């Protein structure tokens, strides 16, 4: 993300205008998960990345040898990776982003294993838990994400929507280039590819909850923009996945399964347009019970 496209201050003002200002405490302790292919931070905001521009953001090595190099998908310039929730009434609207927005609290994630970590937070209405797990499948390296969103209020909510979004910058450190070649392959997947390195990251989902992938030139933090099919093309833009959850009763939860797939090329990262099906990922040991489907349940 470069200042020539939009300044960090302007982005803060836009987000804070929607979700309100929250003072941030001192940094806690982010967690790093890694295998030979991917090294990624999990921040105190509950997002990917190691708190703002601290390295690592998301590093990738196609050889699997752990020689990640300097091409970080996230930390060059202003890091932008986060999640956002909106409702029809606006009650509970909130977001968190590794660029400094902490609408669901600020605390250390929990390391579950060298390749997995979990983080939980809350705002005035929602509780949220994000679990991140690394795996590989052929030429794809996957950061699988399982999000559990709970309506912790005493009232039912309507028009609940959720967004996960990332501005990929794989070529900044080596070539000084923020622009990526971006494509929406289907409602299940959109990708950003470095114009020099060819390194690619795709956001994907096969969740049963209605969803849509997109590319946004304004780095939109509104799930409705992605659900409406935004496709801005190539540039220093964000990829994202919007989910239309609909109604969520008091005390009810929903599991959302999605993630990022990385590869040395767009074809490798996207699997030729198809990331591994949920059953395949489960066999690879992702260990996410909600992968590939969504469910609502009454909270204890």
State yes or no: pLDDT of 291 exceeds 50: no
The reported pLDDT for the residue numbered 30 is 86
Listing DSSP states for 128-171 in one string gives: EEEEEEEEEETTEEEEEEEEEEEE-SSS-EEEEEEEEEE---TT
Q: pLDDT digits over 99-135, tens only?
A: 889 999 999 999 999 999 999 999 999 999 999 999 9
Q: Please, what sign has the CA dihedral across residues 107, 285, 244, 241?
A: positive
The reported pLDDT for the residue numbered 275 is 61
> If you ran DSSP here, which 8-state letter would residue 298 be given?
E
Question: Contact 231/185 with Cβ under 8 angstroms?
Answer: no
**Which carries the bigger pLDDT value, residue 296 or residue 139?**
139
pTM of the model: 0.85
Q: Which CATH class is domain 8-298?
A: mainly beta
Question: Which among 47-56, 70-79, 154-163 has the top mean pLDDT?
Answer: 154-163
Distance of CA 183 to CAs 28, 193, 205, 224, 266, Å? Answer: 36, 9, 15, 19, 9
Average pLDDT over residues 8-16: 39
The reported pLDDT for the residue numbered 296 is 41
Q: What confidence tier does 274 reach under pLDDT thresholds 50, 70, 90? A: low
Distance of CA 99 to CAs 4, 21, 167, 171, 294, Å? Answer: 17, 14, 11, 19, 29
State yes or no: pLDDT of 236 exceeds 70: yes
Domain boundaries, the chain: 8-298
Average pLDDT over residues 50-61: 91
Distance of CA 276 to CAs 38, 67, 97, 170, 189, Å? Answer: 17, 25, 27, 23, 12
Percentage of residues in the chain having pLDDT higher than 90: 74
Average pLDDT over residues 163-189: 97
């Amino acid at each position: 993300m470069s200042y020539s496209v939009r300044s960090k201050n302007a982005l803060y003002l836009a987000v804070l205008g929607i979700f309100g200002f929250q003072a941030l405490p001192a940094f806690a302790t982010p967690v790093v998960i890694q295998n030979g292919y991917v090294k990624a931070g999990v921040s105190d905001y509950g997002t990917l990345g190691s708190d703002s521009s601290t390295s690592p953001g998301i590093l990738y090595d196609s050889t699997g040898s752990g020689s990640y190099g300097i091409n970080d998908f996230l930390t060059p310039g202003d890091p932008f990776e986060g999640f956002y929730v909106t409702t029809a009434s606006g009650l509970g609207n909130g977001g968190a982003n590794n660029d400094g927005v902490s609408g669901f609290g600020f605390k250390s994630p929990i390391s579950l294993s060298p390749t997995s970590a979990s983080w939980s937070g809350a705002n005035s209405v929602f509780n949220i838990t994000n679990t991140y797990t690394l795996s590989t499948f052929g030429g794809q390296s996957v950061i699988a994400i399982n999000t559990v969103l709970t309506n912790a209020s005493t009232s039912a909510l309507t028009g609940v929507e959720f967004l996960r979004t990332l501005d990929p910058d794989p070529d900044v450190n080596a070539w000084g280039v923020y622009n990526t070649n971006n494509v929406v392959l289907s409602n299940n997947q959109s990708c950003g590819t470095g114009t020099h390195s060819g390194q690619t990251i795709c956001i994907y989902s096969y969740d049963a909850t209605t969803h849509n992938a997109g590319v946004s030139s304004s780095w939109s933090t509104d799930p409705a923009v992605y659900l409406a099919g935004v496709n801005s093309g190539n540039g220093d833009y964000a990829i994202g996945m919007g989910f239309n959850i609909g109604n969520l009763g008091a005390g009810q939860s929903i599991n959302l399964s999605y993630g990022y797939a990385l590869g040395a090329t767009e074809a490798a990262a996207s699997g030729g347009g198809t990331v591994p099906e949920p059953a395949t990922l489960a066999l690879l040991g992702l260990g996410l019970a909600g992968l590939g489907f969504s469910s609502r349940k009454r909270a204890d």
